[in-house]
Amino acid sequence: MFKALIEPFRQPQPVLDSESLRSGGRRKPKVRAKNWSGTLGRIWSYLSRRKVKLSLVLLMVFASSALALLGPYMVGVAVDQFISGDVPSSSWTWFLLGLVAVYVLFSLTSWLQNIWMIEIAQETVFRMRYDLFAHLHKLPIPFFGKRQQGEIMSRVTNDIENVSSTLNSSAIQIFSSVLTLIGTLGVMLWLSPLLTLLTFIVVPLMALGMRWITRRTGPLFKERQRNLGELNGYIEETLSGQRIIKAFSQEERVIRGFEERNMRIRISAFWAQTISGFIPKLMNGLNNLSFAIVAGIGGILAIQGSVTVGVIIIFVEYARQFTRPLNDLANQWNTLLSAIAGAERVFEVLDEDEESKDEGAAIALDNIQGNVRFDKVSFGYDEGRDILRDISFEAKPGEMIALVGPTGAGKTTLIQLLSRFYDPTSGTITVDGHKMTTIRRENLRSHMAFVLQDSFLFQGTIRENIRFGRLDATDEEVEIASKLANAHSFIMRMKNGYDRVLQADGSGISQGQKQLLAIARAILADPSILVLDEATSSIDTVTEIKIQEGLERLMHGRTSFVIAHRLNTIRQADRILVLKDGKLLEQGSHDELLKQGGFYSDLYNSQLRKKAQ
């Protein structure tokens, strides 16, 4: 046991590996320390918005610290006067009343500083949470691609909560402790420099001990927060993937994955808590030593007559008081460290770059005709690996453009560029003759609508889900859009009709019905440019016909980009773009491409043959 305990002290930075996991937390994970002054500075920038309240809190802290010093001082002086015997008895009554007043005021100022600080703390984390959430929604799509949702959620919840609990109590307690320490030191020096020196002889040892321990625990607390975020991500992912996990009987594997992540938290939390748990013990031990020195040597000095008994009483009381702030400091240190770790993770997200800015003075267009031009556009998700190469084509207003090609050809990627989730690495995209990057992103997107394979539904009524296309639409407009989308009849057949509450995972509604709702949503949005990702999943013929009808009504008079998987549905397209390995291989109408006898005609004929079989 002892060996396990001293292990981390021998190896300042061992590695968290499979061995660590197997060892059940006996090996300390590898962690990196960071500079925290920046993080504290940024927390301060939030706190400083409430300067007046904060000044009041500081005033209360000063008052309560001074009152905490005054009580023992009064007792010491009274004892000296009692020993000298020259105090009239009426003075004792006043002394006792004074002492009660000091302690009542002490409680009052402590209580006030506490409730005011809670108010400041709650406002601070309210703003931080708001900034974080608002910033998250300005981040580019690639940011979300690289992280698990649960991990991001953990930053908005767990990490902010850590900051909150520290600001509520620990921060002010730490400040008050430091102040009490300074005050105690001042009065002690004034009374007896020699006894002060003896009392504080242990302080350098305490400081060294604290420094040594916190250097090790700080990064461990950060590691624990990171692991917690990872676990949250895993929980979120596995819960949302429940059906797939069950369908493939992967429950055991998922539980093992959880165990591994859970164990990582156990290891980092174990070491963080264990090592920081030494702090109060160390403080207590050293403080008892200081107490013994003051009592022993102070007693000798009192017998010799170089100090009074009252001074010894004050010193003994101060030595005890001086333990309290030190112990508070030691106890609150854990919370402070974990809050700084949490804040660092919050600021890390806040420092992420927002979606690339629109060029110069970006314009907003009231109307868009829907002329879209791609001019030698190339793009790659990762540097040096182009997914789209040299793509050039034009979509005239109202035209239907179909995108076809084998899986991984780059169809979705092209759509992502069109919606400005990403910007091209080279080449330009223009809309109605304006370079896309010169049109305000939100303005551009407000003229577009998407009907994707997996249409996203929010938890809410059917009406609210359709109205997502245009928030100011009336109930009547929602119904008209649903009728055009062929969704009205199935909605009316459902219990509660338009007021039926849907779940976020879309349970209780079929894939085809989801598509019809997405079409209604897009019709309501009344966009100039449409992006459709044709469903690959097999839908019954009746629903398919309904969807097709709805789509045709939706596409009428709008520039539409359709990712087509079944080629017979795009025969009427004005232009078909055939993509292969990121290159635009062929383009033309269905008949033109068939005549060319190239890749498209092979693809079409092979689909026909499959159907005939």
CA dihedral 228, 232, 235, 239 (to 10 degrees): 170
Residue 387 CB, nearest distance to ligand ATP (Å)? 4
Residue 141 CB, nearest distance to ligand ATP (Å)? 8
- The residue assigned the tokens 């090996």 is 27
Backbone angles phi, psi at 496, to 5 degrees: 70, 0
Stretch that binds ligand ATP, among 115-123, 177-185, 262-270, 403-411 (CB under 6 A): 403-411
Quick check: 564 binds ligand ATP (CB under 6 A)? Answer: no
Quick check: 389 binds ligand ATP (CB under 6 A)? Answer: no
Considering only 409, 429, 478, 554, the residue that binds ligand ATP (CB under 6 A) is 409
Residue 491 CB, nearest distance to ligand ATP (Å)? 30
Using the minimum distance from each CB to ligand ATP, give the nearer residue, 203 or 603: 603
Residue 402 CB, nearest distance to ligand ATP (Å)? 13
Using the minimum distance from each CB to ligand ATP, give the nearer residue, 553 or 583: 583
Using the minimum distance from each CB to ligand ATP, give the nearer residue, 340 or 577: 577
Residue 246 CB, nearest distance to ligand ATP (Å)? 25
As a whole number of angstroms, the distance between CA 495 and CA 508 comes to 11
As a whole number of angstroms, the distance between CA 600 and CA 38 comes to 58
Stretch that binds ligand ATP, among 408-416, 440-448, 466-474, 508-516 (CB under 6 A): 408-416
Using the minimum distance from each CB to ligand ATP, give the nearer residue, 118 or 452: 452
As a whole number of angstroms, the distance between CA 351 and CA 281 comes to 39
- The residue assigned the tokens 């016909």 is 545
Considering only 411, 447, 470, 575, the residue that binds ligand ATP (CB under 6 A) is 411
x-marked contacts with ligand ATP along 340-379 as a string, rule CB under 6 A: ----------------------------------------
Residue 583 CB, nearest distance to ligand ATP (Å)? 12
Using the minimum distance from each CB to ligand ATP, give the nearer residue, 340 or 387: 387
Which of 611, 69, 564, 556 minimizes the C-alpha distance to 314?
Answer: 69
Give 148's contacts (C-beta < 8 A, 6+ positions apart).
230, 232, 233, 234, 236, 237
Per the structure block, which two tokens stand in for 140? 């580019």
Residue 567 CB, nearest distance to ligand ATP (Å)? 13
Residue 545 CB, nearest distance to ligand ATP (Å)? 24
Residue 381 CB, nearest distance to ligand ATP (Å)? 3
Treating both helix axes as pointing N-terminal to C-terminal, what angle do 309-350 and 251-304 enclose, rounded to 10 degrees? Answer: 150
**CA distances for 103 relative to 71, 74, 116, 173, angstroms:** 7, 12, 20, 18
Residue 553 in contact with residue 523, Cβ under 8 Å?
yes
- The residue assigned the tokens 């008994």 is 309
Using the minimum distance from each CB to ligand ATP, give the nearer residue, 114 or 412: 412
Residue 445 CB, nearest distance to ligand ATP (Å)? 19
Quick check: 576 binds ligand ATP (CB under 6 A)? Answer: no
As a whole number of angstroms, the distance between CA 289 and CA 357 comes to 63
Using the minimum distance from each CB to ligand ATP, give the nearer residue, 145 or 360: 145
**CA distances for 60 relative to 104, 111, 318, angstroms:** 13, 9, 20
Residue 373 CB, nearest distance to ligand ATP (Å)? 20
Backbone angles phi, psi at 459, to 5 degrees: -70, 120
As a whole number of angstroms, the distance between CA 359 and CA 438 comes to 5
Considering only 371, 413, 513, 560, the residue that binds ligand ATP (CB under 6 A) is 413
Quick check: 412 binds ligand ATP (CB under 6 A)? Answer: yes
As a whole number of angstroms, the distance between CA 256 and CA 75 comes to 63
Strand stretches in 405-527, DSSP E? 426-431, 434-435, 448-451, 460-461, 501-502
Residue 143 CB, nearest distance to ligand ATP (Å)? 11
Quick check: 408 binds ligand ATP (CB under 6 A)? Answer: yes
Using the minimum distance from each CB to ligand ATP, give the nearer residue, 520 or 578: 578
- List Cβ<8 Å contacts ≥24 apart for 218-221: 218/33, 218/36, 218/337, 218/340, 218/341, 219/31, 219/32, 219/33, 219/34, 220/28, 220/29, 220/31, 220/268, 220/271, 220/272, 220/275, 221/272, 221/334, 221/337, 221/338, 221/340, 221/341
Quick check: 304 binds ligand ATP (CB under 6 A)? Answer: no
Stretch that binds ligand ATP, among 179-187, 229-237, 287-295, 407-415 (CB under 6 A): 407-415
Considering only 174, 368, 387, 457, the residue that binds ligand ATP (CB under 6 A) is 387
Element (H, E) at 67: helix 51-84
Quick check: 381 binds ligand ATP (CB under 6 A)? Answer: yes
As a whole number of angstroms, the distance between CA 405 and CA 401 comes to 13
Give the count of residues interacting with ligand ATP (CB under 6 A): 11
Reduce the secondary structure of 519-538 to three states and give it as a string: HHHHHHHCCCEEEEECCCCC
Quick check: 567 binds ligand ATP (CB under 6 A)? Answer: no
Using the minimum distance from each CB to ligand ATP, give the nearer residue, 418 or 502: 418
Using the minimum distance from each CB to ligand ATP, give the nearer residue, 286 or 448: 448
As a whole number of angstroms, the distance between CA 434 and CA 428 comes to 10
Residue 12 CB, nearest distance to ligand ATP (Å)? 38
Per the structure block, which two tokens stand in for 239? 């819960």
Using the minimum distance from each CB to ligand ATP, give the nearer residue, 37 or 538: 538
Stretch that binds ligand ATP, among 17-25, 100-108, 401-409, 504-512 (CB under 6 A): 401-409
Stretch that binds ligand ATP, among 147-155, 281-289, 409-417, 603-611 (CB under 6 A): 409-417
Quick check: 410 binds ligand ATP (CB under 6 A)? Answer: yes
Residue 535 CB, nearest distance to ligand ATP (Å)? 12
Q: Environment class of residue 491 by beta-carbon count within 10 Å: exposed (0-12), middle (13-18) or buried (19+)?
A: buried
Considering only 407, 507, 541, 613, the residue that binds ligand ATP (CB under 6 A) is 407
- Indicate the SS3 state at residue 471: coil
Quick check: 145 binds ligand ATP (CB under 6 A)? Answer: yes
Residue 569 CB, nearest distance to ligand ATP (Å)? 15
As a whole number of angstroms, the distance between CA 430 and CA 182 comes to 67
Residues that bind ligand ATP (CB under 6 A): 145, 381, 387, 405, 407-413
